Amino acid sequence: MTSSSTTSLPGLSADDSLLLLRASAELSFSSLLITGPDHRIIYANPAFCRMTGYSEDELAGQNPAMLQGPLTEQSVIDKMRNALDKRGSFTGSTINYRKNGRPYLVEWTISPVRDDHGQVRYFLSIQKDITQLQAEQSTGNLFAKAIDAAYDGIFITNQDGVIEFANQGFEIITGYAPNEVVGSKPSILKSGKHDKTFYKGLWRHLNAGLPFRAMVTNRHKNGDEIHCQQTITPVKNAEGRITHFISIIKDMTDRVFEELKLREQASHDPLTGLLNRRGGEIELDVTLMQALEKESPFSVLMADIDDFKAVNDTYGHATGDDVIRIVADILMDETRKTDKCVRWGGEEFIVLLPFCDRSKAMEIAGNIRTAMAGTDIPDVGRVTLSVGVAESGPDDTPASILERVDQQLYSAKNKGKNRVVAD
């Protein structure tokens, strides 16, 4: 940069030019500092004074080295001096100190102002406090690293639902690497376990600017179901318009399986794997409600092992348990997938037959009785079953239908056992 023999700007007088240049410096948001060839401060604009905390009078005649301190990088200062000696200009950044002793990160450019003979008359330094910018960048980098390192899956979509970012936790949970899903939609994870009503509720929340949280069954890349606690939060811009959605998925599969296991243990008989009495009572309530809604009957079978006490007394309880397991297997083999088999207690069993009338129930009961009677049990021989059958009526309650099927079982026992009796 060289000075001119005239200080006038095109179209302006010398006085007006100086006035305008002075005003530009005074009003500039950038910090300006002018030093002489000896690096003593000649001029500091208001922005520089605000940045450093020093007044122009306090700065006048001082060397800018007054702003240096313990954290100022000497290597940067050495490079600056070397550059000014060789090229006359320098750009760099380091830590300087305000008047109150607080450090700040400054980025500055120093350019020489030469006269018509090429001699350096002044140095013009334009400086900027980048402390906040650096902090934001550092925080942003740290934030990005934290998100990527999070164990929970995090992915971000645009307003059209296209994935723009996915972290490593997403890959751990879903099996999909980030580069496999960026540009796709979250429907890649759909398991088919949720109906239209579920997604309608989801979008009603999101379009209203509200976060949505639910247990969601997703599909892993390998095809397995993954049970996730998922939170989706809309992100709005300054105008209040939704621009992105942030989704956080937490893998709850192990917990869900554990809960299912506990529920299984609470509702199933450990010896046979059939529903226990508590589980059977719940299923009976459900079956009765379904029958009333559909105005279609269902049937109940009640089966009892004939002379089971004699088996226990003669062959021991371990053999008795084997017989009970065999009965359970026959019940499962001879009933439909929709039927519910229950170990009602001891050697007594119940089978719930939804949407099944008396005639079909008699057929199923007959097959069960025949299969049991034809089974040769090691050390025991043949063991038989007595079975009662009852078809539901429009006025039935769980207690009333159980009472009727129990009466039919009692009748089968009284008529000689190893038979089926229906109401």
* Active site amino acids: 347
Cα distance between the two ends of the chain: 112
Instruction: Compute the distance between CA of residue 68 and CA of residue 101 in angstroms, rounded to an integer.
Output: 10
Helix, strand, coil content of the chain in percent (nearest 5): 45, 25, 30
The residues near 109 (Cβ < 8 Å, ≥ 6 apart) are 89, 90, 91, 125, 126, 127
Alpha-carbon distance 327 to 389, whole Å? 17
Q: In DSSP terms, which residues pair with 216 in a beta bridge?
A: 228
DSSP class of residue 8? P
Residue 14 to residue 162: CA distance in whole angstroms: 61
| Strand arrangement, sheet containing 153-158 | 163-166, 153-158, 242-251, 225-236, 212-219
What is d(CA 256, CA 251) in angstroms, rounded to the nearest whole number?
10
Q: CA–CA separation, 274 vs 250, rounded Å? A: 33
